[in-house]
Structure 1
Amino acid sequence: MNKFLLSVHVLAAIIFIGPVTVAASMFPPLARRALAAEHAENGVLQVLHRISRGYAIGGLTVPVFGIAVAAGLGVLTDYWLIVSMALTAIAAGVLAFAVLPAQSRVLAGVGATPEVREQLMPQAKALSMTTGVFALLWAVVVVLMVVRPGSTTGV
């Protein structure tokens, strides 16, 4: 059963977390270009925002199956897993409370007046850093999942 749960956990991470990270990372440079343009098309930005939002919801399966795997292996109290779960929660918070709302605000301002677009430009620039933090958190979680420092389950 653990092999099945682990397979679903890894597949969910690849299928959901990978695309949301890529879509969120692609959004800021395109948003800056759209905000700088006189008559910008926001269709690509809408798609990237939809991917970010939709795959974020699907990404909730990753920690659910991860906890099931950890419980099956008896490693729920290992510090590498606790740190991974904390970083996962932080990454989810960054996505839900910083990245997605900022994407929504920028999307709303793409077709607005030049003054509104000018006011949104710093948010679009800051979004690059925020999505970078989100991606870095996931990278650290992946490393912890692979290396599992101090684990007795073998590598």
Structure 2
Amino acid sequence: MTKFLLSVHVLAAILAVGSITVAASMFPRYALRALGVDGESGDGDRTPGIAALLHRVCRAYAVAGLAVPVFGLATAAQLGVLTDAWLIASLLLTTIAAVLLALAILPGQRSLLDMADPDDGRQPVPDTARPTAARLAMLTGIFNVLWATVTVLMIVRPGSTTGA
């Protein structure tokens, strides 16, 4: 059973978290293009649709990503490592990454998409678009570093008696 739980945990991490990290990293560039910032026009091409798709990927895989800690905890319980420091640190970093995604990255993406939405009657505001995109890129970088750190902790398991 442990091998099954671990397999689902790793596959969910690769598919869900991997997809979010790539899509979220690409989003600011396509959102700025959709807004026509820096003279790059998104009119007449697929750029606005790409930005919207990247946001939907992030949103959908964020929900699917809930399987990662669920199956991770189930695996940890099977292995008897729930109180190990590396696991507790990983859970803390995972929680921070999830909160960052839910409360900053996804709303930031939505904000940029709303600026580009021609149906709302507003003109895009490039003065606020660039700082919003830069902040979003920074937050996405932090999100990615948090997940990279969790991955290293899962592999190295410092202080573990069952580690490599």
Q: 1:65 aligns with which of 46, 59, 71?
A: 71
CA distance in 2 between counterparts of 1:32 and 1:109 reads 10
Structure 1 residues not aligned, in runs of 5+: none
Compute the TM-score of the two structures, normalised by the length of structure 2.
0.89
Number of the residue aligned with 2:143: 134
- Report deviation, 1:33: 2.3
- Report deviation, 1:154: 3.0
- The percent identity for this pair of structures is 58
One-letter identity of the residue aligned with 1:14: I
Matches within 5 A, 1:1-155: 1-35=1-35, 36=37, 37=40, 40=43, 41-110=47-116, 111=118, 112-114=122-124, 116-155=125-164
The 8 Å contact of residues 32 and 125 in structure 1, kept in 2 or not, is answered as no
Structure 2 residues not aligned, in runs of 5+: none
CA distance in 2 between counterparts of 1:7 and 1:70 reads 13
The 8 Å contact of residues 33 and 42 in structure 2, kept in 1 or not, is answered as no
Q: Deviations over 1:92-150 (max 9, x none)?
A: 01100000000000001014414x23322211111110100000000000000000001
One-letter identity of the residue aligned with 2:29: P
Alignment RMSD: 1.3
CA distance in 1 between counterparts of 2:13 and 2:113 reads 27
Q: Deviations over 1:35-89 (max 9, x none)?
A: 2145544100010000000000000000000000001111000000000000000
CA distance in 1 between counterparts of 2:58 and 2:93 reads 19
The 8 Å contact of residues 5 and 65 in structure 1, kept in 2 or not, is answered as yes
Compute the TM-score of the two structures, normalised by the length of structure 1.
0.94
Structure 1's consecutive aligned runs of 4 or more residues displaced over 4 angstroms after TM superposition are none
